[in-house]
Chains A and B, each alone.
Chain A
């Protein structure tokens, strides 16, 4: 396949200047693994902290999804020419896209500045980011609905937000699937947000890593992975049910 050949060439050309194609680098990786492995272990005394931090991360992620979905539900119709005049839709669309352009971590930094460090900032960052992301999916789902369905709803006399809600119900599966995707995304992102002080488990990971305390770091990393796997499982089961 041509694509594979192109990717191979790009990989080789770009990794050389980075020093990735160098036996010395890989030898050092081996030495480091050998050095750290014996030091690894779990700090059982920190499990309580890890549980609380995981819980905080979970709350941040869930709030991000619930708040973000609510905002997107209202924002998407304002970005759809099927519901509002084209000029308004353009503004709505630009708003949704602008929100999405700013990565979640930058929103987190902004909210740490605005409301101070902690889970408040993380939750607000994810609510905003999720709303921008879902708004795009939602307005696309409105537009994907067949003209006939749209017409028959218009003739009934539906306009504005109620019309959007009726159109949403045509796209229920697609919408639920994207909300679940954002849940999976948010749990991962909420972990990182702690690095900038926006609460959750990432705060501990960064601090212990900074202290070169690998056992404590590993303890929190394990809980992060457990949380991610648990959410993916919930999401998987939910998908099977819709």
Chain B
């Protein structure tokens, strides 16, 4: 297991990124401490999703480097981290038509591929998954198909998956954007509450009030540069 280095869970150093000839990020720097919850804000199209994907190792920086849990992205060290990072995309990445339980158990698929492929989970796997669902307040909905759940409930399923995964970094892209204010606050509280389990949280957010109430730091992405908002 790679050693946590320099006391930062996530570190971006002078990161550049372009889609073709369109520059999106031009020198992004960021340091996120272990157990911190930070929010990234910015206008639509500035590159917030892109930035999150770079941290998740889905996209490669064109210049500069990203270090997550002590590993530079796109290296062998980073590839061995898989599973310690959870990425909740804007569409949540849930398997529609399958149950909440199935979706949460996906977190265990990499470590128990045969059980996953056969659909034969052990008693301990099931009870852990149900426990994760209970922690997000969905114990009664384990068997419900996710496409029949409300927006807030779907978000909770995605969070429960991250919990079961025992992820150390949670990357969430606009986790509360399509929710009513009360539900949004519940979800934000739930997510940031995971700090107590040692999670480091990076979320793309829009609501200023909610963000300043729950997150430790707020960063603004503008003109390809990230700066801390005050």
Cβ of A157 under 8 Å from chain B: yes
Number of residues from B at the complex interface, CB < 8 A:
30
A173–B147 alpha-carbon span in the complex (Å): 14
A172–B58 alpha-carbon span in the complex (Å): 25
B56 to chain A, nearest CB (A): 5
The reply to whether B93 and A151 form a contact with Cβ atoms under 8 Å apart is yes
A119–B95 alpha-carbon span in the complex (Å): 40
Which residues on A sit within 8 Å (CB–CB) of B58? 151, 154-155
Cβ of B17 under 8 Å from chain A: no
Cβ of A149 under 8 Å from chain B: yes
Q: In the complex, which of the residues A155, A166, A173 contacts B56, with contact meaning CB atoms closer than 8 Å?
A: A155
Number of residues from A at the complex interface, CB < 8 A:
21
Interface residues of B in 63-108 (CB under 8 A from A): 82-83, 85-93, 95-98, 102, 106-107
The reply to whether A155 and B87 form a contact with Cβ atoms under 8 Å apart is yes
Cβ of B210 under 8 Å from chain A: no
Which residues on A sit within 8 Å (CB–CB) of B171? 155
A154–B93 alpha-carbon span in the complex (Å): 11
A65–B91 alpha-carbon span in the complex (Å): 34
Which residues on A sit within 8 Å (CB–CB) of B56? 151, 155
Which residues on B sit within 8 Å (CB–CB) of A170? 95-96
Which residues on B sit within 8 Å (CB–CB) of A169? 95, 97-98, 102
Cβ of B126 under 8 Å from chain A: no
Which residues on B sit within 8 Å (CB–CB) of A151? 53, 56, 58, 87, 89, 93
A161–B109 alpha-carbon span in the complex (Å): 11
Interface residues of A in 132-161 (CB under 8 A from B): 146, 148-149, 151-161
Interface residues of A in 158-178 (CB under 8 A from B): 158-162, 165-166, 169-170, 172-173
B184 to chain A, nearest CB (A): 21
The reply to whether A152 and B113 form a contact with Cβ atoms under 8 Å apart is no
Cβ of B116 under 8 Å from chain A: yes
| Residues of B participating in the A interface, judged by any CB pair closer than 8 Å | 53, 56-58, 82-83, 85-93, 95-98, 102, 106-107, 109-110, 113, 116-117, 161, 165, 171
